[in-house]
Amino acid sequence: MYYIGIDLGGTHMAAGVVDENGHIYATAETPTQAKRPYAEIIRDMAATAKAAMEKAGVAEEQIESIGIGIPGVADTDGNVIFCTNLGWRDIPLRKELQQYIQKPVYIDNDATVAGWAEYQAGVSRGTNSSVFLTLGTGVGAGIVINGHIWSGRHGVASELGHTTIVKDGVQCTCGKKGCMERYCSATAIIRMAKEACAVQPENAMMTACGGDAEKINAKVVFDAAKAGDPIAANVFEEYIQYLTIAVNNVVSFLDPDIIVLGGGVSKAGDFLLNALKENMPHYLMYPTLPMPELALASLGNDAGIVGAALLGRV
Amino acid sequence: MYYIGIDLGGTHMAAGVVDENGHIYATAETPTQAKRPYAEIIRDMAATAKAAMEKAGVAEEQIESIGIGIPGVADTDGNVIFCTNLGWRDIPLRKELQQYIQKPVYIDNDATVAGWAEYQAGVSRGTNSSVFLTLGTGVGAGIVINGHIWSGRHGVASELGHTTIVKDGVQCTCGKKGCMERYCSATAIIRMAKEACAVQPENAMMTACGGDAEKINAKVVFDAAKAGDPIAANVFEEYIQYLTIAVNNVVSFLDPDIIVLGGGVSKAGDFLLNALKENMPHYLMYPTLPMPELALASLGNDAGIVGAALLGRV
């Protein structure tokens, strides 16, 4: 049997035909054009899925189920509660999609889906419990407990990016202050770097950006820090302090087998992972506390399609 | 069948004979005398359990298993990893106890045990997932997911009191700074009240304590706030802000069916619960987010024995 995975993003949607081992046979992609009525977007989701099936030479009868990763939150009845990038609130996604393809439809948050992909076919395969953190524009998370996705009673669990780590801290896009994603996302690194450059503009980050602080991104900061620039190293150090707090909060809360770092920031690789590992003992309840394995995500962009597809794999 | 529950505290240990519905048939109690060698303490635990069995008229053959709630953390092999009040590190509690009573022995953190009691026989009975917060000298927590206790891979999960909510905040006894229990425990309320009284000593809290700020406890603060004292009301308001952050972090992380407040602070009852409920929408990701039920613990001091006993109830 095969599974369809759809990765619904704010700018593009991608669909893929996937087998039970997470192997992708074919994919198709379409612009989301987020401002359209939701019915049109969902119609195109079905069309993109069918295009991927055609490319893969797989018939509808061979499809077990369809899974969708959304940049938002869905309830257990297949409705999207909210999806900020698309401006969606209470959208009957499952029901609409089943007009075009009569298969079971599973929907979950995109970070949850990526964490599920790592559990089914990536770095956390073979574990019993895992927490996946996607460190990108924001911070998302995916929780697996006893081999099952945990999305909570109302589907709104694993929003770790919106746990508070700094009371009255930096204003978050969600309306609250001091949310973890304001300190642990790529956006946070850029903010910290810009703040540092405003005070001390003579540094390798500014050189790399031709003197334009607006061009700073997370990679610029990591590259400069790796190369030994002291200002960039301070920014990196500041970021690691916050990331360690966030990761320790996961340990203190759930103590899973493994905590996986994904998203754009995780492309810094071992430079990031090793700094985090070295700093962890300072934030644990006591330095020798047994703690989860820390690892980098292994599936990259495929995780969205693979994880969505395997939502249907019981 | 019957179960033995042992509530091991820093000053007293209590044992009880409990049935599968959480009904207590008899209890016995002994001073812990924490400074003794652990072997003596564990010998007395067995003796206290046997005293409770004798009072209940229950023979050893009728006992299914023994459960123990400890003010610390145990691993899955029955060893106590640490237990600060008793000065224990890596103590083979299960093995020692089985020298005296040859029954299966289950050990878990006292807050986890109290949360399990509420799930099995109290306010969260009939739910699928719950997070219990014990707001006392410190803050402990008990997590139930899909009807099972979640203690993590290494037994160190649900230490919510030691998640960070204020980076570089108040020094915690654990060595870190800004831990949640520094802001949400009875100890935190007392600290906040003392700070307020140092600035404005003319208030109902000081009156209630005969002018001695050292006598302030959580009840004094709540009583004065309820009676309309403006200084106490400010302290209460400050506390509620932090408690709301902590509770919202539970929602954003796990979104359980129910979040239960226990421990000494929860004796403030509806005055506390209603203030929390009113404040929650300001801290959720958005104000109408579906959220867990919030409730007060229902079992009081019995929860320690009942929950420990029912650790053995699969």
| Nearest-CA distance B210 → chain A (Å) | 34
Mean pLDDT within A30-46: 96
Residue A165 and residue B167: Cβ atoms within 8 Å? yes
Residue A156 and residue B255: Cβ atoms within 8 Å? yes
Residue of B nearest to A158 (CA): B253
Mean pLDDT within A83-96: 92
d(CA B75, CA B210): 47
Contact B97, B302 (CB under 8 A): no
Residue B254 and residue A290: Cβ atoms within 8 Å? no
Mean pLDDT within A173-190: 94
Phi, psi for B297 (deg, rounded to 5): -60, 150
CB-nearest partner of A160 from B152, B174, B253: B253
In SS3 terms, B260-292 reads as: EEECHHHHHCHHHHHHHHHHHHHCCCCCCCCCC
Query: Which residues make beta-bridge pairs with A135?
Result: A139
Residue B248 and residue A164: Cβ atoms within 8 Å? yes
Residues 6+ apart with CB under 8 A from A74: A80, A81, A93, A107, A108, A109, A155
> Which residues of A are less than 8 Å from B109 in CB distance?
none
Residues 6+ apart with CB under 8 A from B9: B32, B71, B85, B110
Residues 6+ apart with CB under 8 A from B54: none
> Which residues of A are less than 8 Å from B152 in CB distance?
129, 254-256
Query: Which residues make beta-bridge pairs with A171?
Result: A177
d(CA A159, CA B17): 41
Mean pLDDT within A40-69: 98
Among A79, A129, A162, A180, the strongest candidate for a mutation testing the B interface, having the largest count of B CBs within 10 A, is A162
| Nearest-CA distance A112 → chain B (Å) | 12
pLDDT tens, residue order, chain B (314 aa): 999 999 999 899 999 999 999 999 999 999 999 999 999 999 999 999 999 999 999 999 999 999 999 999 898 899 998 888 898 999 999 999 999 999 999 999 999 999 999 999 999 999 999 999 999 999 999 999 999 999 999 888 999 999 999 999 999 988 889 999 999 999 999 999 999 999 999 999 999 999 999 999 999 999 999 999 999 999 999 999 999 999 999 999 999 999 999 999 999 999 999 999 999 988 777 667 788 999 999 998 899 999 999 999 86
What integer best gives the mean pLDDT of chain A?
95
| Nearest-CA distance A265 → chain B (Å) | 21
Q: How many CA atoms lie within 13 A of B165 on its CB side?
A: 23
CB-nearest partner of A145 from B75, B150, B162: B150
Residue A92's pLDDT is what?
97
Residue B153 and residue A75: Cβ atoms within 8 Å? no
Residue B163 and residue A252: Cβ atoms within 8 Å? yes
> Mind giving me the DSSP string for B88-116?
EEEE-HHHHHTTT--S-EEEEEHHHHHHH
Residue A162's pLDDT is what?
94
pLDDT, tens digit (0-9, with 9 covering 90-100), for A187-236 = 999 999 999 999 999 999 999 999 999 999 999 999 999 999 999 999 99
Confidence label for A76 from pLDDT (cuts 50, 70 and 90): confident
DSSP three-state, residue A305: helix
> Which residues of A are less than 8 Å from B75 in CB distance?
290
CB-nearest partner of A249 from B145, B164, B256: B164
pLDDT, tens digit (0-9, with 9 covering 90-100), for A106-164 = 999 999 999 999 999 999 999 999 999 999 999 999 999 999 999 999 888 999 999 99
Residue A154 and residue B286: Cβ atoms within 8 Å? no
| Nearest-CA distance B289 → chain A (Å) | 8
Contact B155, B75 (CB under 8 A): yes
Residue B241 and residue A167: Cβ atoms within 8 Å? yes
Tokens standing for B152?
Answer: 């993590």
> Which residues of B are less than 8 Å from A76 in CB distance?
none
* Between A49 and A290, residue with greater pLDDT: A49
CB-nearest partner of B159 from A158, A252, A292: A252
Confidence label for A80 from pLDDT (cuts 50, 70 and 90): very high
Residue A156 and residue B257: Cβ atoms within 8 Å? no
Residue A18's pLDDT is what?
97
> Which residues of A are less than 8 Å from B156 in CB distance?
251-252, 255, 285, 289-291
Share of chain A above pLDDT 70, in %: 99
Residue A254 and residue B151: Cβ atoms within 8 Å? no
